[in-house]
Structure 1
Amino acid sequence: MTETVLVTGATSGIGAEFARQFAARGCNLVLVARAPGPLEEAATILRKKWGVDVETLAADLLDDDGLTRVLGRIRAAGELDAGEPAAGGPGAARPAVTVLVNNAGYGLVKPFADNTLEDEVRHLRIHVEVPLALAHAALQSMRPRRGGTIINVASVAGFTPRGTYGAAKAAMISFSRWANLTYGPEGIRVTAVCPGFVHTQFHQRMGADKASVPAALWLDAGLVVREALRDTAAGKAVSIPSLRYKALTALARVAPSSVVARLARRGR
């Protein structure tokens, strides 16, 4: 059976790379992002290059209506399309989502107490509440089929004292570990992918200074996704791409918290 992969934050960075690599494997796609224009552009390129079916779903996951529509798509296996562009056109049956990639997110450049509470709550929602809601819907669909995959894009920041971004990513790492153990016997793999600094638009959007990070710490999104897919296929609950970040993460577990916090303060 051809996999159908739903990717959030699918038009740039790691999300776009997941879409490309899954398309290269012959998987059909459901791309989710806020802006319809970039979504359609990405879908056209993927269809043309790889010959796969690509649905697009323009939705702001921080908006109740947007999140509800994405949840509805995850739950919509075999139902007739009621309006969203589906692979077979309006009226076509929509295939079940067999792989969920929770990638959407952003960072806040200022420390916790310097942000508004509203900004911090929205930040927590996109990194914890939204992926948990989508994972819950996916599990409801996957468990009767005795199979499926959930990939939660977390961060090595989840292993460090790194403000609310690190706390949110730590929550997703912990959840993924538990869920992989709990639902693995039912044929469902759950993996938290924990990249370090990656060459994407993430840091520019949050206003962080990329020049302050040593060149050796930057990773290519292609490598991150290749290693993530390999580790997910192997059933690993946590994927830390690259040997350098595996070593740094191991060091963070034993080094003094003050030292780790100072190093982690530089960014993602």
Structure 2
Amino acid sequence: MKTVLITGASSGIGKSFCYGFAKRGYSLVIVARHKEPLEKLKQEIQKEYNVNIRVIAKDLTQDTCRQLYDECKDLDIDILVNNAGFGDSGAFLDRNLNKQLNMIRLNVLALVELTYLFGNDMKKRNSGGILNVASIAAFAPGPYMNIYYASKSFVLSFSQALAYELRDTHVSVTCLCPGPVNTDFFRRADLLESPMWKFAPPASPEQVAEKAIKGYFNHKDLVINSLSGKLFGLAVKVVPRKWMLKMVGMTNGQR
């Protein structure tokens, strides 16, 4: 039985990834900050699917990626899903600095370290794959959410470059760039009043995860789940950058 490790597994898209891979017969390693919701998720999934599930509670903003890797030494992780991440909104100089730094630690540094550690094992076996979760925010600068947008731009660029480097191996890399999703993310990022909800109605996490998993198995290096995301990606290519900055800034800044 193959094994998938999923970070940010306790809710939202991460939780839907767990169900999506469980129904395909994968053993799961589910990772999030708090153990209780993970244990609850484990029980819920095992009521439906006969799969092995290992629960690991880790706060990946606290330099614990090596610990997580070491706790999985007895397993061959066939698929790594770097889903953990969070956002924040508001003018950069008005926000809490430590929260911004933790966003970089989780959205960028933890993703890079886990990709490096588990990716090297996959390269040695010449099998496996990595599914990184970015955002359509990766396509443009994001005034009033600048660290989040920049972090997701990094994830997209990093993922596509790594996919190219591994093109002659049996290790694949897929990057998911979802648009708005109906999860707790928008509340945590203080975006419930954003016009984004009107311009791009949110998708369900189940729909997003399923499309990402299918894209991964079809060896796509980029998965965009929605028409609005595809249109935004196209607009970035044709609309002058200063206009795009203004449009995104107005969308993110209006409350």
Normalised to the residue count of structure 2, the TM-score between the two structures is 0.91
Residue 130 of structure 1: aligned partner: 110
Bigger relative contact order, structure 1 or 2 (CA pairs below 8 A, ≥6 apart): 2
| Structure 1 unaligned spans of 5+ | 80-94
Instruction: Give me the whole-angstrom Cα distance separating, in 2, the residues matched to 1:73 and 1:187.
Output: 25
Residue 69 of structure 1: aligned partner: 67
Instruction: Give me the whole-angstrom Cα distance separating, in 2, the residues matched to 1:9 and 1:210.
Output: 25
Residue 90 of structure 2: aligned partner: 110
TM-superposed CA distance for 1:243, in Å, is 2.7
Among 231, 249, 254, the residue aligned to 1:247: 231
Residue 39 of structure 1: aligned partner: 38
Please list the CA deviations of residues 67-107 of structure 1 after superposition, one character each: whole Å capped at 9, or x if unmatched: 33212134x0xx3xxxxxxxxxxxxxxx3111000011111
Residue 89 of structure 1: aligned partner: none
Residue 25 of structure 2: aligned partner: 26
Instruction: Give me the whole-angstrom Cα distance separating, in 2, the residues matched to 1:117 and 1:41.
Output: 33
Secondary structure, counterpart of 1:184 in structure 2: coil
Q: Is the 8 A contact 2:179 2:226 kept in 1?
A: no
1:206-217 residue pairs with structure 2 within 5 A? 206-210=189-193, 212=195, 213-214=197-198, 216-217=200-201
- Please say if 1:99 is aligned against 2:83: no
Q: Is the 8 A contact 1:157 1:264 kept in 2?
A: no
Q: Which portions of structure 1, spanning 4 or more consecutive aligned residues, are displaced by more than 4 angstroms? A: none
Structure 1 range deviating more: 251-260 or 27-36: 251-260
Instruction: Give me the whole-angstrom Cα distance separating, in 2, the residues matched to 1:124 and 1:216.
Output: 26
Instruction: Give me the whole-angstrom Cα distance separating, in 2, the residues matched to 1:112 and 1:216.
Output: 24
How has the CA–CA distance of structure 1 residues 210 and 14 changed in structure 2, closer, same or farther, with 3 Å as cutoff? farther
| Structure 2 unaligned spans of 5+ | none
Q: Is the 8 A contact 2:20 2:213 kept in 1?
A: no
Q: Is the 8 A contact 1:177 1:237 kept in 2?
A: yes
Structure 1 range deviating more: 105-114 or 37-46: 105-114
TM-superposed CA distance for 1:39, in Å, is 0.6
Aligned residues between the structures: 247
Instruction: Give me the whole-angstrom Cα distance separating, in 1, the residues matched to 2:71 and 2:231.
Output: 39
TM-superposed CA distance for 1:121, in Å, is 1.7
Q: Percent identity?
A: 32
1:117-196 residue pairs with structure 2 within 5 A? 117-162=97-142, 163-196=146-179
Residue 11 of structure 2: aligned partner: 12
Instruction: Give me the whole-angstrom Cα distance separating, in 2, the residues matched to 1:251 and 1:215.
Output: 14
Instruction: Give me the whole-angstrom Cα distance separating, in 2, the residues matched to 1:113 and 1:146.
Output: 45
Structure 1 range deviating more: 28-37 or 113-122: 113-122
